[in-house]
Amino acid sequence: MKILLTGATGYIGKRLLPLLLDQGHEVICCVRDKNRFYFPEKASENIKLIEVDFLNKESLEKIPNDIDAAYYLIHSMSGADNYDQLESISATNFKEKISKTNARQIIYLSGIVNDKSLSKHLSSRKAVEEILKTGKTPTTTLRAGIIVGSGSASFEIIRDLVHKLPVMITPKWLNTRCQPIAIADVLEFLIKALLNPKTYKESFDIGGSDILTYKEMLFQFAEAKKLKRYIFTLPVMTPKLSSYWLYFITSTSFKLASALVSSMKVEVVCSDDRINDLLNVKPMSYHEALQKALLKIDEDAVASSWKDAQISGQFKGSVAYYLKVPKKDCFIDRRKREIINRDLTIAKIWSIGGETGWYYGDWLWSLRGFIDKLFGGVGARRGRTSRHEIHTGDVLDFWRVVYANKKEGKLILYAEMKLPGEAWLEFKIFNNTLYQAATFRPKGILGKLYWYAVLPFHGFIFNGMINELVLE
Looking at residue 218, which CATH number applies to its domain?
3.40.50.720
Side chain identity at residue 345, one-letter code = T
CA of 214: how far to CAs of 65, 115, 245, 278, in Å?
44, 17, 15, 29
- Looking at residue 169, what is its pLDDT? 86
Residues 262 and 325 in one domain: no
Write out the residue range of the structural domain in which residue 172 sits: 2-307
Could you tell me which of 280, 289, 15 has the C-alpha nearest to residue 148?
289
- Looking at residue 243, what is its pLDDT? 78
Dihedral of CA 97/132/128/180: which sign?
negative
- Looking at residue 245, what is its pLDDT? 78
CA 153/CA 358 separation, integer angstroms: 25
- Looking at residue 41, what is its pLDDT? 59
Longest dimension (CA), the chain: 67
CA angle 314, 317, 323 (to 5 degrees): 90
Which residues does 86 contact at the CB level (< 8 Å), separation at least 6? 55, 76, 80
Rounded average pLDDT per 10-residue block, the chain, 472 residues: 93 94 94 82 78 90 95 73 80 93 95 74 82 94 93 89 90 88 97 96 95 94 94 78 80 74 79 94 96 93 81 64 90 95 95 93 90 84 88 91 93 94 96 95 95 90 95 84
Residues 300 and 322 in one domain: no
Residues 332 and 279 in one domain: no
Burial of 152 (0-12, 13-18, 19+ CB in 10 A): buried
The four Cα atoms 427, 428, 431, 433 give a dihedral, to 10 degrees, of -30
DSSP assignment of 219-233, as one string?
HHHHHHTT---EEEE
Q: Are 122 and 113 in contact (CB under 8 A)?
A: yes
- Looking at residue 1, what is its pLDDT? 93
Task: For helices 254-264 and 239-249, give the axis angle rounded to 10 degrees.
Answer: 130
Residue 372's CATH number: 3.30.530.20
Residues 234 and 372 in one domain: no
CA of 118: how far to CAs of 108, 124, 131, 311, 403, in Å?
19, 9, 18, 22, 41
Q: Give the 3-state DSSP-derived string for 105-169, with helices as H, strands as E and coil as C.
A: CEEEEEECCCCCCCCHHHHHHHHHHHHHHCCCCCEEEEEECCEECCCCHHHHHHHHHHHHCCEEE
Helix and strand counts by DSSP (H, E) for the chain: 14, 19
Residues 293 and 320 in one domain: no
- Provide the CA 37 distance to its chain's centre, in angstroms: 13
Residues 288 and 425 in one domain: no
Residues 383 and 300 in one domain: no
Residues 340 and 268 in one domain: no
**Phi/psi at 23 (5° precision):** -85, 5
Residues 23 and 137 in one domain: yes
Residues 144 and 45 in one domain: yes
- Looking at residue 266, what is its pLDDT? 79
Number of domain units in the chain? 2
- Looking at residue 393, what is its pLDDT? 87
- Looking at residue 184, what is its pLDDT? 97
Residues 92 and 222 in one domain: yes
Domain boundary among 307, 337, 369: 307
Which residues does 261 contact at the CB level (< 8 Å), separation at least 6? 171, 173, 239, 242, 243, 246
Domain boundary among 307, 326, 341: 307
Q: Are 103 and 68 in contact (CB under 8 A)?
A: yes
Residues 326 and 279 in one domain: no
What region, left, alpha or beta, does residue 98 occupy, with left being phi > 0 and alpha being psi -120 to 50 degrees?
alpha
Instruction: Indicate the pTM of the whole model.
Output: 0.90
Which residues does 173 contact at the CB level (< 8 Å), separation at least 6? 214, 242, 261, 264, 265
Count how many Cα atoms sit within 13 Å of the Cα of residue 196 in the half-sphere of its side chain.
16
Q: Are 383 and 251 in contact (CB under 8 A)?
A: yes
Could you tell me which of 376, 153, 128 has the C-alpha nearest to residue 263?
153
Domain boundary among 278, 307, 336: 307
